[in-house]
Amino acid sequence: MSLRYALLGLLAERPASGYDLLGSFRESLANVWPATQSQIYTELANLAEAGLIAVSDEGPRGRKEYTLTETGRDALRTWLTTTAPKRRDRNEMLLRVFFLGIVPEHARDYLTDIATSAAAAHADLVSVREATEWGDSDLSRYGRIAMEWGERFHTMNREWAQWALTQLPDRDR
C-alpha cells in the first residue's frame, strides 16, 4: 500500500512519466521503499483507475505523463496525517543472531557479512548523496533527511556487528 503513497508523493512535486518515477525510486527512494518497474506501472494504472492521478500528456512510444488529481492530493494528505506507520516487529537478521549458538562455526562469518553489507550500503548512499543535485524543494529537503536516516542506520548496523564480533566466545572467534 505504501507504494501508492510514494507515487502520489512524487507526483505531488511535479508531473512525471512512469520512467521518470522509476528513476526517482532508483536514485532516491530505494533506501526507503524499493520498487520494480512492473510494480510501479501496475500501481500507476491502479491510481489512474481510482482517479487519484490523471494522464496529463502522452508522447511517442506510449509515454504517459501523470499528474496528481485533487482526490489524489487529499488521499496523500489523509495518509500523511491520520494513518500511523505499520510497526515492524520482525527482524530476520536478529532472529538468526539469536540462534547462532546452534552453528557457532558460522557466527563470525555471519556477523562479518552484516558489517560488510552495512558498510557497502552506507557507501552507496554516500555516493548517491554526493551525486545528487540537491535543491530547495520539499522533496529535496525531506529526501536529504531520509537519506541521513539511511546513512546513520547502516553505520549503526556496521558498528553493532563489529561490536557483536567482540562478544563471541573464544571458540567462535
More confident residue, 166 or 1: 166
Residue 49 has pLDDT above 90, yes or no: yes
Alpha-carbon 16 to chain mean position: 19
Q: Residues, the chain, total?
A: 173
* Contact (CB, 8 A) for 83 and 46: no
Q: What is the pLDDT of residues 73-125, one digit of tens each?
A: 999 999 999 988 887 778 889 989 988 998 999 999 999 999 999 999 999 98
Full-model pTM: 0.73
Predicted pLDDT at 132:
83
Q: Is 169 helix (H, G, I), strand (E, B) or coil?
A: coil
Predicted pLDDT at 50:
96
- DSSP strand pairing (64-68 vs 53-58): antiparallel
**Closest to 100 in 3D by CA, of 16, 171, 9, 22:** 171
**Closest to 43 in 3D by CA, of 14, 78, 3, 80:** 3
* Contact (CB, 8 A) for 50 and 56: no
Predicted pLDDT at 161:
97
Q: Is 36 helix (H, G, I), strand (E, B) or coil?
A: coil
From 30-34, 61-65, 95-99, 143-147, the region with the lowest mean pLDDT: 30-34
Phi, psi values for residue 56, rounded to 5°: -105, -15
Predicted pLDDT at 34:
83
Predicted pLDDT at 155:
97
Contacts of 120 (CB under 8 A, 6+ apart): none
Predicted pLDDT at 1:
59
* Contact (CB, 8 A) for 18 and 44: yes
Q: Is 61 left (phi over 0), alpha (psi -120 to 50) or beta?
A: left
